[in-house]
Amino acid sequence: MTLLVVGASHRTCPLPQLERLSAAASDPVEIGRLVLAEPYVTEAMVVSTCNRVEVYVEADRFHPGVAAVSAALSTGTGIDVAELGEHMYAHYDGAAVEHLFQVVSGLDSMALGEAQILGQVRSAYTRARTAGQLGPAMAAVVDRALRVGRRARAETGLDRLGNRMVTEALDVAEQHVGPLSGARVAVVGAGGMAALVTATLARRGASGVTVVNRTESRATRLAASVDGQVAPLSALPDLLAGCDVVISCTGSVGHVVEAAHVEAAVAARGSRPLVLVDLALPRDVAPLPDDLRGVVVVDLETLGLRLAADADGTTEVTRARSVVAGEVRVWRSEVEAATVTPTVVALRSQADAVVSAELLRLRGRLGNLDPAVVAEVERTVRRVVDKVLHTPTVRVKELAGGPDGSMYAEALQTLFGLSVADSLDPVASFGDGGPGAMADGGRP
């Protein structure tokens, strides 16, 4: 199979456009259905998170595959293809596998190492398989990626870096309201990010925490971890007036914190500052009036600027990237070795056919021979052929794992006139020179 990924993330797309794309792609199964209705695509998986919208497909050609995914995304989101192309990237074959390994490991996230992406890709995988949109070819690659993500975290301290986004957000909040141990905090949402927030609040000694969620049972579990309280979403306007910090991280498509409610809360608060931390995409906090005083909004765009400064220089990130690079090399070697197998099988089958034909001709010419002699001659001839073929077949498998490995199998096919049912397709865009952008000359 040939993997193609077309997507947009915080690295290539301004937050307002990414927010719009994320909201429009809120039904991944429908996007997958539209993609599969296009030509050149046989399997599809849609990953939509707060930092990215990506479509992974099995496609036999790069440019037609990109066009098919772009057309489906445009139909599903109502965003013009040309506008989509301004901020999207595409990776093909080996480059796509490497990108997926990096994504699942948390190396392509705004908060490097964040653990949520592993579960988000797993959910996308399960969703696509349940909908019948993912077959065995892509499933094997995604399974491998999930294992790589777990390994990158198990063998490095990458998970510790994953807390940085929440830590940075709470640091900003403390700059305005003082230590959180004495602050009144509301956490809106009860998913994976909310769990990370409450765990971080607990480590900072926060005691006045209220978890706000539509589902009371999920909120209760989180609130228990900080000896906090639970409130329904309808109580949020009143909490805005009484809390010092509100951290919202839901999966809602619409705004959860309305501007009118914030304005009313400000009027009731007097001079006390209110910090609104928005960790969601699409954003939970509605745009606020420019002249609204006393409110500090900390969102993904703000945090991205703070986290970018030293993100790439950490030892743990370097170690995790080494893990991913090693896994990509192993994957590539395995793919190349599997690709060369039909050629080896064809070569040995041809040799076996020649040996059988020549032995049959020999028996016809020599007449009745002692069966023991015939058996010994046959063993000798086959042993000679096996020894002659051993070195080239072993070497072609070894060479298949290196650069341009498929050309050695193609050379065997040409030299011996082999007919191989599973023809060899060169590995495209693995490293330099392959199609790794939306179009010729586009963003890599």
Instruction: Report the distance separating Cα 38 and Cα 242, nearest Å.
Output: 52
Question: Does 294 belong to an annotated binding site?
Answer: no
Quote the Cα angle for 148-150-153, to 5°: 105
Find out whether 119 and 192 touch, Cβ atoms under 8 Å.
Answer: yes
> What sections of 299-436 are H helices per DSSP?
300-308, 315-366, 371-400, 406-416
50 is in an annotated binding site: yes
CA distance linking residue 269 with residue 439, whole number of Å: 53
Which positions are annotated as active-site residues?
Answer: 50
Q: Is 283 annotated as a binding residue?
A: no
- How much helix, strand and coil, in percent to the nearest 5, is found in the chain? 55, 10, 30
Q: Among the residues of 155-215, which ranges form H helices?
A: 158-162, 164-177, 192-203
Cβ-in-10-Å burial (0-12, 13-18, 19+) of 302 comes to middle
Ligand-binding site membership of 191 (annotated): yes
| Helix (H) or strand (E) segment spanning residue 236 | helix 236-242
Q: Are 66 and 163 in contact (CB under 8 A)?
A: no
* 45 assigned ligand-binding residue: no
52 is in an annotated binding site: yes
214 CB-near residues (< 8 Å, 6+ apart) = 232, 233
Q: Is 205 annotated as a binding residue?
A: no
Q: How far apart are CA 360 and CA 154, in angstroms?
A: 60
Is 341 labelled a binding residue?
A: no
51 among the known binding-site residues?
A: yes
Instruction: Give the bridge partners for 7, in sequence order.
Output: 54, 89
Tell me the DSSP string of 260-303. HHHHHHHHHHTT--EEEEE--SS-SBPP--TT--SEEEE-HHHH
194 labelled ligand-binding? yes
Contact 30, 293 (CB under 8 A): no
Is 49 known as a binding-site position? yes
Which residues does the annotation place in the binding site? 49-52, 109, 114-116, 120, 189-194
Which residues does the annotation place in the binding site for substrate? 49-52, 109, 114-116, 120
Which residues does the annotation place in the binding site for NADP(+)? 189-194
